[in-house]
Copies of this chain bind each other. A is one copy, B any other.
């Protein structure tokens, strides 16, 4: 349905089904996962990603740059998000000693408690909506498919800049 007269060649039914299915699943999954986690833990997935990265770091503190490599966000997004998390008391900002241009962010006690409390919820949610539903074979295949697509995206000129930006760092 809804296949407009495509001069070259339209998507086959198989392609359309795979693409529409992927899109709808992705949207719904993200929306519901997000609502559930926020309700149960007070943290968004974005919050969790940041806090988990800090939690795993040597001294529970990381440079903004290192965080950016981990979560792979635009730098302005990271900046805005960290500012909001700081206001909520989840992280704290310090100056960077080895490079005064830099910024270092550390977990506050509240942040540590929040992320530790959220870990189980997240795990349960992932199980309920993804991993428990698929056979081991499907699970591996899904990882493989994601990987193939990711690789292609990484080669797209659009993405090159970001990769390049990040590549020039010492993490």
Contacts and interface: CB of A to CB of B under 8 A. Distances in A.
30 contacts: A2-B52, A4-B116, A6-B123, A8-B124, A14-B139, A14-B143, A15-B126, A15-B130, A17-B143, A18-B134, A18-B140, A18-B146, A21-B147, A21-B150, A22-B142, A22-B146, A24-B72, A25-B146, A25-B147, A25-B150, A26-B30, A28-B72, A28-B150, A29-B153, A32-B153, A32-B159, A35-B158, A133-B148, A134-B148, A138-B141
Contacts of A18: 130-131, 134, 139-140, 142-143, 146
Contacts of A29: 149, 153
B148 A145 contact: no
